[in-house]
Structure 1
Amino acid sequence: MLSELSPDVVESMLTNQYFGRIGCAANDRVLIEPVAYYYDGHFIYGLTRQGTKTQLLHENPHVAFEIDEVVTPTLWRSVVIEGIFEELKDEDRDDALFLLRQRKIPVFADERFGYPGVDSPTGNKVVYPVVYRIRIGRKTGRCYEYSPDQN
């Protein structure tokens, strides 16, 4: 049986999870990718690297963000957010980096994570993070529970 999640359950799920998926689309291309995130009760904050996702998000900042929780094979919960992607700069970026300090962007074996204004490691390709937030427009949550009694 499908049911709506209460606002309290939606908030709890967003607060207690670390990984979600961001969906974006531009120029006849649709992309869904996993991301680590931090939710502060108002925004979704994240780190990523320059690439296809950031290119699409700069062209069309409208995003979908989803998290799931599989409790058992017959019980799952899902939260979907519709919002606007905003790349952060300066003080907003620094504040978000503080919130995201435990989250890491994925890097390849020959790469190292760098920060502007900090000496880069030598001998490696340096990847600088794109720090962003999602301005939440709409949040919905659903739950599915299968019962053998259901027809």
Structure 2
Amino acid sequence: MLAYLSEEVIDHMLTNQWFGRLGCAAGHEVLVVPVTYFYDGQNIYGHTREGSKTRLMRQNPNVCLEIDEIVSPTFWRSVVVLGTFEELAGDERSGVLQRLGQRLPPLFVDEIAAIQSDQADNVATPTVVYRIRITQKTGRSLQRS
């Protein structure tokens, strides 16, 4: 049966996962890319290098994030978050990088350390740390016997 997920289940999924697909668009260009993130109960936070994704989000800050749990074609759950992209700077940026390092699986810890080092070294292509201010969350599930 196809059903809507409760707010509690949506928040549980967003809190307990660290991987999703970010969708952004500007003009005639649309992009959906895998990202790591964390959810603080109100907003989504992530990081990326300068590129197509950051260019599109700066042109049009309206974005979406999709996460899912797929067991089979007849048993899955999916959450879609709509929100507004914002770049972070200063202490807020540093705090988010620290939380990302604590939240993400161990294989990403070295990446976060390198990003923090980039920040200190003023690397030519700095890492963009961002927040998605959530405007809407929806979730669906399918479970057939």
Decide: shared fold, TM above 0.5: yes
Counterpart residue number, 1:29: 29
- Matched residue type, 1:139: K
- Matched residue type, 2:129: V
Using the alignment, how far apart are the partners of 1:15 and 1:97 within structure 2? 17
Counterpart residue number, 1:47: 47
CA displacement at 1:58 relative to structure 2:
0.3
Using the alignment, how far apart are the partners of 1:66 and 1:117 within structure 2? 32
Using the alignment, how far apart are the partners of 2:27 and 2:75 within structure 1? 37
Q: How does 1:1-151 map to 2 (within 5 A)?
A: 1-102=1-102, 103=104, 104=108, 113=115, 114-118=117-121, 128-147=126-145
CA displacement at 1:99 relative to structure 2:
1.0
- Matched residue type, 1:19: F
CA displacement at 1:98 relative to structure 2:
1.3
**Tell me, what secondary structure is at the counterpart of 2:118?**
coil
TM (norm. structure 1) is: 0.83
Aligned-residue Cα RMSD (Å) equals 2.1
Using the alignment, how far apart are the partners of 1:127 and 1:73 within structure 2? 41
Aligned-pair identity (%): 51
Using the alignment, how far apart are the partners of 1:23 and 1:64 within structure 2? 5
Using the alignment, how far apart are the partners of 1:5 and 1:71 within structure 2? 16
Instruction: Choose 1 or 2 for highest CA Rg.
Output: 1
Question: Per-residue displacement from partner, 1:94-146 (whole Å, max 9, x unpaired)?
Answer: 111111115449x8xxxx654222487xxxxx753210010000000100112
Structure 1 unaligned runs (5+)? 121-125
TM (norm. structure 2) is: 0.86
The number of residue pairs the alignment matches comes to 137
